[in-house]
């Protein structure tokens, strides 16, 4: 392969990132129904994720929570100057969680969690206006987290543990804005890798200064997933003097390496019980996206130059509010709201993760089935602020070719889970 196609074919804008501002805040139905608050709420083994320090305050010897969500997301793109438009297919994502906690002694609790804090699926129609940036992407990241919770006093506890992260990616885009073979089929590239893994950690504390007030803090470290030897496939490459590739069938296969940053995050919050049946919760969440400065991709084939793609994300915050009401012995009702800032700065808005400021509206309930089983249900409507944005760091022939337009996004997320307590 020759370097003549360096810019025309191989400048990948965001091919293998789990961290394109697509943090998936769906780690428990109880918590989600209350605006995804939970760092200072003691009600189930969902605390494995939200704050392991609180596990030791659970009343039950054994607590198990499992559940999943259905994510129905749509993105609409339009450029009024050119008349170009596109709407993503309604891919359904299914993030899940499973937590278990065990009260070993009156001062020690153990826990284990499996959950999906990152991942998404976006599919645009073939050969749309931004196909040189993305056609489709399927991302998955699973965290496995053993934890320990220690009560240092009646009022204060600590908790934490290691995190094993594993993930996979499949990404497809056209080679550039015009290149195709003699049959008119657009030249495209697909990146695929799985089994990407790395270790991180989490730690937190919980403080109960009064009977009704609880304070909490939890920190999760950054994790840099490193894809090594992933499969890169280029198809429909034209055979011509301008593109002198030794590919009789128009297909080239090689490998790639890339670093995939999952940012650290810090959550602090409180919960307050009042009027016997009511609980108010507030979480402040800070996500340290500045670790995502650039997506750099190295190809094994020496004829393909490495690709460096600026992202320059900024740190962002989320403000979460939740309310719980114990209506009867059988029913507990919940509602919430959160505002989530986008980490994307002007000029860096790429359509593979069309993320901008969003407002989340949540509701849900728990139904007690006997004394041990609970059915947890939640619903989220996530409305993204309409944004006129551009990505200014796609290059052809050494020149910047901005891709701009108006994006409208919305997400509907129903969720269902089961809690077992013994």
* Per-residue pLDDT reduced to its tens digit, 208-221: 999 999 999 999 99
Q: Is the pLDDT of residue 315 over 50?
A: yes
CA–CA distance from 244 to each of 5, 235, 237 (Å)? 9, 14, 10
Which whole number is the average pLDDT over 285-299?
84
Percentage of residues in the chain having pLDDT higher than 70: 88
CB-side neighbour CA atoms (13 Å) of 206: 27
Whether 364 contacts 415, CB under 8 Å: yes
User: d(Cα 392, Cα 85) in Å, to the nearest integer?
Assistant: 19
Q: What are phi and psi of 285, to 5 degrees?
A: -120, 125
Whether 278 contacts 325, CB under 8 Å: yes
Q: Which of 136-140, 149-153, 252-256 has the lowest mean pLDDT?
A: 136-140
User: d(Cα 299, Cα 228) in Å, to the nearest integer?
Assistant: 10
- 28-62: b or e for each residue (b if 16 or more CB lie within 10 Å)? bbbbbbbbbbbbbbbbbbbbbbbbbbbbbbbebee
DSSP result, 354-420: ----EEEEEEEEEEEETTTEEEEEEEEEEEEPPEEEEE---EETTEE--EEEEEEEEEEEEEEEEEE
Q: How many domains does the chain have?
A: 1
> Which three-class secondary structure state does DSSP give residue 65?
strand
Whether 318 contacts 288, CB under 8 Å: no
CB-side neighbour CA atoms (13 Å) of 183: 7
pLDDT value of position 138 = 77
Domain that holds residue 190: 3-421
Give residue 233's pLDDT band: very low, low, confident or very high (50, 70, 90). Answer: confident
User: d(Cα 295, Cα 317) in Å, to the nearest integer?
Assistant: 22
β-strands 395-396, 387-391 pairing: unpaired
User: d(Cα 16, Cα 229) in Å, to the nearest integer?
Assistant: 13
Average pLDDT, the chain: 84
pLDDT value of position 240 = 57
Q: Is the pLDDT of residue 244 over 60?
A: no
Which whole number is the average pLDDT over 335-356?
83
Give residue 235's pLDDT band: very low, low, confident or very high (50, 70, 90). Answer: confident
C-alpha 79 chain-centroid distance: 27
Give residue 10's pLDDT band: very low, low, confident or very high (50, 70, 90). Answer: very low
Which whole number is the average pLDDT over 361-390?
91
Q: What's 341's domain CATH number?
A: 2.40.160.60
User: d(Cα 293, Cα 116) in Å, to the nearest integer?
Assistant: 23
Handedness of CA 372, 281, 103, 107 (dihedral sign): negative
2 vs 175, more confident:
175
Q: Give residue-wise pLDDT tens across range 152-211.
A: 999 999 999 999 999 888 888 887 777 787 777 888 888 888 888 899 999 999 999 999
CB-side neighbour CA atoms (13 Å) of 69: 29
Q: Which of 269-273, 290-294, 410-414 has the highest mean pLDDT?
A: 269-273
User: d(Cα 172, Cα 85) in Å, to the nearest integer?
Assistant: 19
User: d(Cα 71, Cα 66) in Å, to the nearest integer?
Assistant: 17
CA dihedral 319, 325, 331, 334 (to 10 degrees): -20
Whether 224 contacts 197, CB under 8 Å: no
Q: Is the pLDDT of residue 257 over 50?
A: yes
Question: pTM of the entire structure?
Answer: 0.86
């Amino acid at each position: 392969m020759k370097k003549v196609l360096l810019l025309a074919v191989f400048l990948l804008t965001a091919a293998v990132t789990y961290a394109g501002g697509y943090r998936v805040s769906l780690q428990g139905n109880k918590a989600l129904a209350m605006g995804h608050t939970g760092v200072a709420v003691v009600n189930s083994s969902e605390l494995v994720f939200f704050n392991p320090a609180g596990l030791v305050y659970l009343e039950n010897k054994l607590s198990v929570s499992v559940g999943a969500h259905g994510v129905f997301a749509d993105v609409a793109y339009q450029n009024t100057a050119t008349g170009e438009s596109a709407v993503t297919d309604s891919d359904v994502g299914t993030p899940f969680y499973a937590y278990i906690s065990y009260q070993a002694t009156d001062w020690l609790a153990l826990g284990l969690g499996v959950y999906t804090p990152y991942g998404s699926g976006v599919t645009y129609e073939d050969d749309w206006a931004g196909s040189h940036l993305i056609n489709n992407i399927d991302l998955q990241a699973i965290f496995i987290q053993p934890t320990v919770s220690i009560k240092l006093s009646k009022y204060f506890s600590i908790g934490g543990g290691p995190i094993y992260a594993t993930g996979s990616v499949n990404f497809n885009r056209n080679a550039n804005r015009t290149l195709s073979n003699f049959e008119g089929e657009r030249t495209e590239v697909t990146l695929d890798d799985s089994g990407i893994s790395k270790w991180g950690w989490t730690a937190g504390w919980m403080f109960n200064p009064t009977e009704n007030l609880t304070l909490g803090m939890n920190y999760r470290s950054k994790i840099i997933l490193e894809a090594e030897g992933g499969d890169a496939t280029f198809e429909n490459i034209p055979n011509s003097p301008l593109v002198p590739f030794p590919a009789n069938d128009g297909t080239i296969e090689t490998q790639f390496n890339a670093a995939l940053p999952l940012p650290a995050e810090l959550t602090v919050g409180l919960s307050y019980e009042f009027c016997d049946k009511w609980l108010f919760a507030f979480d402040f969440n800070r996500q340290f996206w500045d670790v995502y400065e650039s997506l750099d991709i190295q190809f094994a084939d020496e004829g393909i130059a490495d690709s460096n793609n600026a992202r320059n994300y900024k740190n962002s915050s989320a403000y979460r509010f939740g309310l719980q009401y114990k209506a009867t012995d059988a029913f507990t009702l919940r509602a919430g709201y959160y505002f989530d800032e986008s980490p994307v700065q002007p000029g860096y808005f790429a359509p593979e993760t069309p993320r901008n400021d969003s407002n989340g509206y949540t509701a849900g309930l728990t139904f007690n089935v006997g004394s041990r089983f609970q059915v947890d249900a939640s619903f989220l409507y996530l409305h993204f602020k309409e944004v006129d944005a551009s990505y200014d760091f796609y290059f052809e022939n050494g020149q910047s070719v901005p891709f701009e337009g108006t994006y409208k996004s919305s997400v509907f997320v129903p969720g269902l889970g089961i809690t077992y307590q013994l």
